[in-house]
A and B are shown apart, each in its own frame.
Chain A
Amino acid sequence: MIRLVDVSIRAGQFALQNVCLEIPSGRYAALMGRTGQGKTTLLETICGLRKVDSGQVIIDRVDVTDWSPSDRGVGYVPQDLALFPTMTVREHLAFALRLRKQSVSQINKRTDELAELLQITALLDRNIKHLSGGESQRVALGRALSFRPAVLLLDEPLSALDEETRTEMHVLLKQVQQTTKVTTLHITHSSEEASAVADCRFNIESGRVQQIELNP
């Protein structure tokens, strides 16, 4: 569950005032809105990369407002993916697990499981430099899901992909969410994308977040 209670954020000239939002556990939400409305700022606030001026950020019934990003247990896929240039695909999937001091066998099991789910088994020992857009996207998704986060945040994850790959990724994202049951917040500009993947939809405009649709 993701819950924002009267959250206010200021970043230079830009400000979001008293934002409220609630996404129930296990739901896939799409957040839409014009460029510059603060969608990315909101995502960065949920994962702890941006401090709030006031209000509360609640994840799985725990107030994490003052927690550091490393303690929040949030999977985050930024728009630019921000993959680690010196690591292989396998190292990306194992990164968060090594930090949690899991055993080699546990890491290998989880890495293989994720690679199979995301269809990147053949790429495991490749460096990320020569991956295609769709492949990089899957690696970033795998890295974010590797430590079984309670919440997954996706910032326009499919914007740089071609039509065919995007359709493939819609299916994959839906499948991943149904398999992992992770509460997901997905920023997109595309209504078509929101309809394809999300079961509830929010719109952000003039600093206010409004729920516009909730499919059962």
Chain B
Amino acid sequence: MNGLVNEVESSAAELPSRSTVQRQRSDVPFFAVMGGLSSCFVLLIVLMLAADVMFTSLSDFTTALVKPEIQAAFKLTMLTCTASAVLSLMVATPLGYLLSRYRFPGRWIVDTLVDIPIVLPPLVLGLSLLILFHLSINGWQLERWLRDDIGFGVTYRWPAVVLAQFSVACAFAVRTMRVTFDQIDPRAEDVARTLGCTRAQAFLKVALPQAERGMIAAATVAWARSLGEFGPILVFAGATRMRTEVLSTTVFLELSVGELNSAVAVSLIMVAVAMVVLLLLRILGSRPSQ
């Protein structure tokens, strides 16, 4: 027994003192590297916005804001982004749920197809929408049918703006909703079914209330993507002033006629609007649940 105690004591004596080891393991380099790399991105955004603010003046803002074209574009942007976000959520919630919960034939194809609008160049997406609506099949054309028979023309009108925004925004919303449902334990829905729920009731009464925050996140992503959409709108809806002009096309139109000050002012309005809407949705999403 004494021999063992002596052995432990002698090996302890060979070790460096505890305080020396602690001083060598500082966390400062970790935070310096992580903080340094992270701040690069944050700094880039702050500098870009600061440059925009310094470039423009209050009079540029007031001049831009009183233009009827820009007022109409602002109104159309708010309406189309909201419509696109609502439509995206209506489609993304069931699609995200099906992809998360069920293994059905062709699931991987659906899963891949949903991502195509995310990876496709925006102009190609716009062009594809244009071709879809104007492709003639045995003399029948979708756009002509919608315009002449239903009385609801799409191309180069406001519905084209919503559809162009929706095509991209919905893909992002589906991804968000799928992750949301992946994180919700399906066992609660199983138990709900043993208590008397059909699959639809289990979804509506048990899964959906748990997905509230994910739905707010999906709506936020869809709204933000819709606000930033430009390429597909330009090709599919055009950039007709007072008709299909949204704020992203306003920036392009103002730039194209050499109104740089006005373009920067509109860009900053877009930043402000985006920040207000995202902040509101974030506050809504961070409400403590009951």
Output the least CB separation between B184 and chain A (Å). 9
Chain B contacts for A55, CB-based, 8 A: none
Chain B contacts for A83, CB-based, 8 A: 188
The reply to whether the CB of B206 lies closer than 8 angstroms to some CB of chain A is yes
Question: Looking at the complex, which of A23-31, A58-66, A94-102 is the stretch in contact with chain B?
Answer: A94-102
Chain A contacts for B197, CB-based, 8 A: 70, 99
Q: Tell which of B188, B210, B212 has the most Cβ of chain A within 10 Å.
A: B188
Cα distance A69–B210 in the bound complex, in angstroms: 22
The reply to whether the CB of A39 lies closer than 8 angstroms to some CB of chain B is no
Known: A78-B187, A82-B185, A82-B187. A88 touches B290 (CB 8 A): yes
Determine which of B191, B196, B290 lies in contact with A86 in the assembled complex, contact meaning CB atoms within 8 Å.
B290
Nearest residue (CB) in B for A79 is: B187
Cβ of B289 and Cβ of A69 under 8 Å apart? no
Cα distance A29–B210 in the bound complex, in angstroms: 35
Interface residues on A, range: 20 to 34
Chain B contacts for A80, CB-based, 8 A: 185, 187
Q: Tell which of B192, B194, B289 has the most Cβ of chain A within 10 Å.
A: B194
Cβ of A82 and Cβ of B210 under 8 Å apart? no
Cα distance A47–B191 in the bound complex, in angstroms: 9
Cα distance A82–B212 in the bound complex, in angstroms: 18
Interface code B104-139, partner A: CB below 8 Å = 1, 0 otherwise?
000000000000000000000000000000000000
The residues of A with any CB-CB pair to B shorter than 8 Å are 47-49, 68-70, 72, 74-76, 78, 80, 82-86, 88, 95-96, 99-100, 127, 143-144, 146-147
Q: A49-B193, A68-B198, A86-B289 are in contact. List 5 more A-B contacts (CB 8 A).
A: A72-B194, A84-B192, A84-B209, A86-B290, A99-B195
